[in-house]
């Protein structure tokens, strides 16, 4: 009889009834039990692996949902901004503000200088009332679809303030640049195109026309 085909029950009977075959039978019985245990453990490992994969997928989907829903930039820019030698479009400014807010809400930073980080407003620039609270600065690249991620940040920063973590909102406060600043690493505010430059350390480019209205644009 082929011992590889003996079932556990038959092995038990043979081992108890046939003393001659008992040693072989007991070995086969132990082998069968070992194989059965291995198969059982393998099935458990597969179930655990699939469960972990499902959990990971659920976490990824949840994270994407949180990052794509409920984040709102208030006072969204709607005019081109002259910032030093750069002409910045509203979409480039909004892209930078959205990226800034996204990092604030998720608690992440990018680049060597860990953007977004706090802007202390040492220059005394006045921002719209909706921008009260902590200010954050974030590099602006003049590219509508490619917000800053790493490398040299350039001279221009978007300012986001009035962040409400629970509501997922933050306000676009204005744009500043190192270019033209008197102090080392200082800033001056940037201006709406075709408008006179404001004195350094005074009003931001959108203070007068933003206070009467609040514009929202979903990320």
Q: How far apart are CA 193 and CA 201, in angstroms?
A: 19
* DSSP-assigned letter for residue 83: E
pLDDT of residue 51: 77
**Cβ atoms of 3 and 24 closer than 8 Å:** yes
- The neighbouring-strand residues paired with 218 are 72
Q: How far apart are CA 208 and CA 212, in angstroms?
A: 8
Give pLDDT tens digits for 133-168: 789 999 998 665 567 777 888 889 999 999 999 999
The question of whether 103 is a catalytic residue gets the answer: no
**Positive or negative: CA dihedral 196, 198, 204, 209:** negative
φ, ψ (nearest 5 deg) of residue 197: -70, 140
Choice among 10, 178, 179, 200 that is catalytic: 178
The question of whether 123 is a catalytic residue gets the answer: no
pTM over 0.75: no
Q: Is the pLDDT confidence value at 210 over 50?
A: no
Supply the mean pLDDT for the chain. 74
Q: Please state which of the ranges 1-15, 33-47, 156-170 shows the lowest mean pLDDT.
A: 1-15
Q: Quick count: other Cβ atoms within 10 Å of Cβ 148? A: 24
The question of whether 178 is a catalytic residue gets the answer: yes
Q: How far apart are CA 205 and CA 83, in angstroms?
A: 10
As to burial, measured by CB atoms within 10 angstroms (0-12 exposed, 13-18 middle, 19+ buried), residue 59 is exposed
**Cβ atoms of 172 and 158 closer than 8 Å:** yes
Choice among 117, 134, 211, 218 that is catalytic: 117
């Amino acid at each position: 009889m082929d011992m590889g085909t003996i079932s556990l029950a038959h092995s038990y009977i043979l081992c108890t009834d046939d003393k001659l075959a008992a040693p072989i039978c007991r070995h086969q019985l132990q082998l069968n039990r070992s194989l059965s245990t291995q198969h059982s453990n393998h099935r458990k490992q597969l179930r655990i692996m699939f469960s972990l994969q499902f959990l990971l997928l659920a976490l990824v989907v949840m994270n994407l949902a949180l990052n794509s829903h409920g984040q709102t930039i208030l006072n969204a820019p709607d005019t081109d901004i002259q910032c030093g030698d750069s002409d910045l479009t509203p979409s480039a400014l909004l892209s930078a503000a959205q990226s800034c807010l996204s990092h604030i809400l998720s608690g992440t930073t990018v680049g060597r200088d860990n953007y977004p980080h706090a802007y202390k407003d040492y220059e005394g620039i006045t921002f719209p009332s909706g921008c009260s609270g902590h200010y954050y600065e974030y590099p602006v690249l003049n590219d509508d679809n490619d917000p800053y991620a790493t490398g040299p940040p350039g001279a221009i920063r978007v300012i986001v303030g009035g962040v409400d973590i629970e509501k997922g909102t933050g306000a676009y406060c204005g744009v500043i640049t190192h270019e033209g600043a008197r102090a080392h690493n200082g800033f001056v505010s940037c201006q709406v195109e075709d408008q006179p430059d404001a004195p350094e350390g005074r009003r931001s480019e959108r203070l007068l026309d933003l206070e009467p209205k609040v514009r929202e644009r979903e990320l």
